[in-house]
Amino acid sequence: MPEIPDESTLMNNLMHQMKDNIFFKDKDGHFILINDEGARRAGYQSPEDMIGKTDLDIFTEEHGREAFNDEQAIVTTGKPLFGKEEKETWEDGHETWVSTTKMPMYNQQGNIIGTFGISRDITKHKQAEMLATHYAEENRRLCDAMGSDMQMAAELQKAFLPATYPIFPDGADSGHLAACFYHHYLSTGTVGGDFCSVRKISPTEAGILLCDVTGHGVRSALITALMRAIVEEISLKEKDPGRFLDHMNAVLHPIIQHDDLFLFSTACYIVLNVQDGTLRYAIAGHPIPILLNMEMDQAEWLTADPSHSGPALAVDGKIRYQTFERQIREGDAVVMYTDGLYEVMNPAGDELGPDRLLELTHEQRTRRINEIFPKLVETIREFSSGSRFEDDVCLVGFRLCHLLTENS
């Protein structure tokens, strides 16, 4: 049989080799035995120097009193205390943390005569935990501040979109408008990269602009803010759509093109003349608008000629955009949109695509312009089984209700 050491040898090994604090106390909290590590942590040269002392002789009143009360509860009830995390505040002011288990100590007659326990130093662990908590709180604070800033940015971006629409003729009520305008905007995030503008640029003309900056989020949103400033500057000065896009391109290219960053924006600019039904337009890499041709009772592309679309804005600072023209009639409508509208998938993995969008728009051709856009979005959501749009979506357009006459 293996040699079994006596109890005193076992206790001796426990008290002199363990790196946790092991202690025994009487009913009044006086130390009657403590191991070498416990004495060392308390700042005493030997365990014997601590015999007869209490926690109140070692720690501050706050911690010493709490430890004493815990032990008195154990003495009174016999219920042990397991793994309590305690902050030890020492007389010199420094703080440590321990995980402490305390048990009732019985004599041979089964009466409680004190307590004993073990404390493990968890200071480094606790400091790391508190540091992690601090970083988490700081991160939460920063996220809250960023969220607040983003929300403000979102509100500002909404202010970039049309709040009112041109009225032809001046002062006309809703039942006598020569043209009805509308826009619909959905952002995949708090802020997005789509932008539209509807402005009255003469007594008989309105300029309708739709832009789509690559990507989405803050970077794209900043460029839309820049675009709005450009539109503010040139909308009344430059009424030719091609030259309008030339100007935007010339301003944007040196600002947003860098060696390590490739950004661009598609755009479509239409000038509607409500007096003669003439549309003049220029396109910079943007999806071709849809014309609701009421005489033919169909939805069709505003142009079937791919050469009518030039490169996206900011790709080439020297590009020149052409202006094209088309005649529309009373009752006709034009739907402009960003590609996020049709770049959605159904559960089978099929993309909606431009042609299917044309079909869906055809189905809505008789609706009022302010009904067409929400209905299109609803129908496309049904196609994708309710999935969210992966890209920002913006629609803007108009219906020519009647031609403006001199007597209007």
Decide which of 176 and 5 is more confident. Answer: 176
Residue 154 has pLDDT above 60, yes or no: no
Residue 232 has pLDDT above 90, yes or no: no
350 contacts 157 by C-beta, under 8 angstroms: no
The superfamily CATH assigns to domain 161-400 is PPM-type phosphatase domain (3.60.40.10)
Backbone angles phi, psi at 60, to 5 degrees: -70, 165
Cβ density class 20-54: b for 16+ within 10 Å, e for less: bbbbbbbbebbbebbbbbbbebbebeebeebeebb
State which amino acid sits at residue 360: L
Distance CA 138, CA 136 (A): 5
Residue 337 has pLDDT above 60, yes or no: yes
State which amino acid sits at residue 97: W
pLDDT tens figures, 17-40: 888 999 999 999 999 999 999 999
pLDDT at 145: 60
Decide which of 143 and 274 is more confident. Answer: 274
Tell me the average pLDDT across 44-57. Answer: 91
Q: Is the bond preceding 169 in cis, omega lying within 30 degrees of 0?
A: yes
337 contacts 395 by C-beta, under 8 angstroms: yes
361 contacts 372 by C-beta, under 8 angstroms: yes
Which band of pLDDT confidence, cut at 50, 70 and 90, is reported for residue 87? confident
Distance CA 172, CA 33 (A): 98
Q: Spell out the residues 6+ positions from residue 186 whose beta carbon is closer than 8 angstroms to its own.
A: 340, 377, 389, 392, 393, 394
Pairing of strands 324-327, 205-213: unpaired
**CA distances (Å), origin 232, targets 200, 207, 226, 312, 367:** 12, 12, 10, 20, 32
Share of residues in the chain with pLDDT > 90 (%): 56
Share of residues in the chain with pLDDT > 70 (%): 91
Residue 157 has pLDDT above 90, yes or no: no
Residue 161 has pLDDT above 90, yes or no: no
Longest Cα–Cα distance in the chain: 121
From the list 116, 120, 81, the residue with the least C-alpha distance to 99 is: 120
Tell me the average pLDDT across 220-249. Answer: 87
Decide which of 332 and 259 is more confident. Answer: 332
Which band of pLDDT confidence, cut at 50, 70 and 90, is reported for residue 332? very high
Residue 325 has pLDDT above 80, yes or no: yes
pLDDT at 225: 78
- Where exactly are the structural domains of the chain? 7-121, 161-400
pLDDT tens figures, 173-207: 888 999 999 999 987 765 567 889 999 999 999 99
From the list 337, 317, 148, the residue with the least C-alpha distance to 245 is: 317
56 contacts 152 by C-beta, under 8 angstroms: no
Distance CA 26, CA 35 (A): 16
CATH class, 7-121 region: alpha beta
Tell me the average pLDDT across 239-256. Answer: 91
Residue 246 has pLDDT above 80, yes or no: yes
From the list 245, 185, 244, 247, the residue with the least C-alpha distance to 216 is: 185
Distance CA 373, CA 369 (A): 7
Residue 249 has pLDDT above 80, yes or no: yes
pLDDT tens figures, 351-406: 999 999 999 999 999 999 999 999 999 999 999 887 778 788 899 999 999 998 86
**pLDDT averaged over every residue in the chain:** 88
pLDDT at 190: 56
pLDDT at 81: 93
Indicate the range of 68-82, 99-113, 385-399 predicted with least confidence. Answer: 385-399
